[in-house]
Amino acid sequence: MSNRIQLNTTVSNHHFIEVGFEINNKIIEYLRSTFSCKKGVLIIDENVFELYKESFVSKIKAVFDEQITCIVPSGESSKCLDQFHKITGKLLNFGVERGTPVVVVGGGVTGDLGGFVASSCLRGMPLIHIPTTLLAMVDSSIGGKTGINHDVGKNLIGAFYQPEAVFVDLLFLETLSKRELINGLGEVIKYGMIRDKTIFDALKELSLTEKFSYSKTWEQIVETCARIKVEIVSEDFKESGVREILNFGHTFAHVIERVGSYKEYAHGEAVFMGMWGAVKLSGLLGFNIDIANLSTFKPLYTSKFDSDKSPEELTALMQYDKKIKDGAIKVIILEELEKAKSTVITNTTVIEESWKFIIQEFK
C-alpha cells in the first residue's frame, strides 16, 4: 500500500510524491508506462548501489534498452563542480535527449547533485527522485531545489527544478545506520516546530534509540512531513515568501557545517543545533518559545560543537548565506510553536548571543 501526494505549482500540476513500504514495483511500472524512449540515466549513491545492485538497480536497468549508470561517491564533498562536470560529460557522450529520464537514487547529496545535472543538461531532462535516507525522504527530494557547494558556502550554485515524481519507499531505511536515521530526524523535528506539533507525539511512540524498523507510525510521520513540504512548495515554489520558513535552524546550521568542513557534522545534526540557536533568537526578540520539544531529543545527538571560532566570527560567516538581504542576515524565528516567520536582523548582538547558547548547549 502507498499514498500519493499531488504537487501543484505555477510551473506544473502533474508532479507527485508516492509514499509507502515495498513500492519498488510501482516505480518500475511508472518508468515503463511513462517513458517510451530507449535510453535512461541512473545516478546513484555508491553505498546504495552496492546494497541494491542485484535487486532494485537491476530492475531499473531492465526498463531501458540502453542505460548509463553514474555512481556518486558518498559524502558532502561530492556536491562539487568536478562531479557535476564528470556526470554531465558522461551523459552528453552517451547521447541523451531532452526526453531521456534521469533517475536519481540516494540521499540528499546525490539528490541535489543529480537534480542539478538533470536541470542543466540540455536545459532540462525529466527527473525522478528515489530518496533512500530519512532526510531526503522528508525534505531534500521534495520541492525542486537542486545544487552543489562552493568554497564560499553551501548550495550557492544550483537551480529550482521540479522532479516529475518522487517515490518514497521506507524499505530503504532498513539499511540506514542509527546515526543516519538521527540525522534525518533533525528535519522531521523541524516540521514539528514550524507547522505540526503532533509529529512530536508520534515520535514518542517510536524506539528512536534502535535501528529503523517499519511501522505504520513511521509511514505516517514521513507522509505528514512530505505533505507539509508539498503544501508550502505549492504556494511558493521559488522561495520568495512562505517557503522560507523551511529554513528554520538552517542559517545557523550552514555555518556549523562549514566550520566542520562539511565532514564533522551531518546536515540534520547541524540543523538540530541550529534550531536551538533559532529558538534562543526568538526569545531574544520577544517571543517566549519552550525549548522542551528540542530537549526531548537532545540525548540522541552525540556530536559536540567544537569550534575555535568566536560568536562574532560565527556571526560574520552567516553573511555568506544565500538568503542575505541587503547585507543583513535573514533568519527564521518562531512567534510561537507552529508559527514561523522570516525576519531580517540588523543588530548582530542577538545573533552572537544565540551562538553563545549553541556553544554552551553542545560543548
**Active-site pick, 254, 258, 280, 330:** 254
**Active-site pick, 145, 258, 280, 330:** 145
For the question of residue 229 being annotated catalytic, the response is yes
To 5 degrees, how large is the angle CA 196–CA 139–CA 307?
95
For the question of residue 85 being annotated catalytic, the response is no
Task: Output the nine-digit C-alpha cell for 339.
Answer: 508559527
For the question of residue 129 being annotated catalytic, the response is no
Coil vs helix vs strand at 188 = helix
Residue 272's identity, in one-letter code, is F
**Active-site pick, 227, 267, 280, 330:** 267
For the question of residue 187 being annotated catalytic, the response is yes
Please name which of 175, 174, 358 lies closest in space to residue 265, comparing C-alpha atoms: 358
**Active-site pick, 129, 154, 250, 258:** 250
State how far Cα 293 lies from the chain centre: 21
For the question of residue 335 being annotated catalytic, the response is no
On whether the CB atoms of residues 72 and 78 are closer than 8 A, the answer is: yes
Could you tell me where the DSSP H helices lie in 24-159? 24-34, 46-52, 56-63, 81-94, 108-120, 134-135
**Active-site pick, 247, 257, 269, 293:** 247
**Active-site pick, 187, 219, 244, 269:** 187
Distance from C-alpha of 321 to C-alpha of 125, rounded to nearest angstrom: 29
For the question of residue 145 being annotated catalytic, the response is yes
For the question of residue 15 being annotated catalytic, the response is no
**Active-site pick, 79, 154, 190, 229:** 229
On whether the CB atoms of residues 121 and 41 are closer than 8 A, the answer is: no
For the question of residue 243 being annotated catalytic, the response is yes
**Active-site pick, 54, 93, 123, 288:** 123
Query: Which residue numbers are catalytic?
Result: 123, 145, 187, 229, 239, 243, 247, 250, 254, 267
